Chain A
């Protein structure tokens, strides 16, 4: 879970003009997110986004994703994987994640956090060339997803699932869509056999595309 990692980052940069804003993509009532937020006891704003407004505005497709924004309110780095990596995929293999992979994963996360600090403290230019601007299909997919979660809140489960399935079809790269809609079908499904089968089906493709940031995997 990432909230404590962002707390450490926030603590380290307490003297700087800097703020972490964490956004929960859970579409259910606040109670779904509450235990994790209270457990992390963050000093930074920890917000609820049941309508996926931020996901939609910034085209964020997974958790953890992050966007870096400068003092003038301009995007520096559009939505990207927030330092994690695909090493987690061997979690379910016999023996779990190999020690080397685990170390690489932790080292990458540390370097990603260090890059945030370098940007904040030293003003290092870390603008990314990534373009996360919506396509027409993205806009249509978010309409289905947001309608689906609205229907789910009305207790209209069957209609909700049809909308959510259409959102997933139009935007297969959104694991946020997939995992939230699975979780609405059945608690625990987001991390269950369907999830692992979908990850397996990626083959050589990334679950967490690495951020284009120099030195993360040296």
Chain B
């Protein structure tokens, strides 16, 4: 069976993506996306087919042995002035985790850089 990789790591569908197949559909937090019965029957063994059915981003290796299940546009925040800034948690060099939301009440200047 293919190794599933996603924004949350590698492993099962839920490990990789945070989404989980439930009776009401494909769910994460309080959002559920309906999944037709025939797709659901196949999706138990084939998360890639499920992702393709939903039109969500999929990347596979040449031999299709491993697959990346991407975050759909519909689950992404709009990046416009006035919209909520999506939270994130990243570590510093010392391994300490920082979250954007820890800085609520302050103005934040979020800047990218790279050594290259």
Contacts and interface: CB of A to CB of B under 8 A. Distances in A.
Given A59-B79, A60-B112, A131-B80, A120 B91 contact: no
Nearest to B79: A132
Contacts of A23: 90, 110-113
Contacts of B108: 18-21, 67-69
Interface stretch (A48-56, A88-96, A103-111, A197-205): A48-56
A21 B68 contact: no
B58 interface: yes
Contacts of A33: 93, 114-115
Nearest to A126: B81
Interface in B81-97: 81-86, 88, 90-93
A32 B73 CA distance: 31
Nearest to A10: B109
A57 B7 CA distance: 11
A64 interface: yes
Given A17-B105, A18-B107, A69-B107, A77 B116 contact: no
A20 B88 contact: no
Interface in A131-181: 131-136, 138-140, 142-144, 146-147, 150-151, 156, 159, 162-163, 166, 176, 179-180
A74 B107 contact: no
Of the listed residues B70, B79, B109, the one surrounded by the most CB atoms of chain A closer than 10 A to its CB is B109
| Consensus secondary structure, chain A interface | mixed
A175 B116 CA distance: 11
Contacts of A67: 85, 108, 110
B22 interface: no
Contact of B93 (A30, A119, A144, A180): A30
Contacts of B82: 74-75, 127
Nearest to B90: A47
Nearest to A25: B114
B36 interface: no
Contacts of A131: 78-80
Given A67-B85, A75-B82, A147-B68, A22 B107 contact: no
Interface of B: 5, 7, 10, 55-59, 61-62, 66, 68-73, 76-86, 88, 90-93, 98, 100-101, 103-116
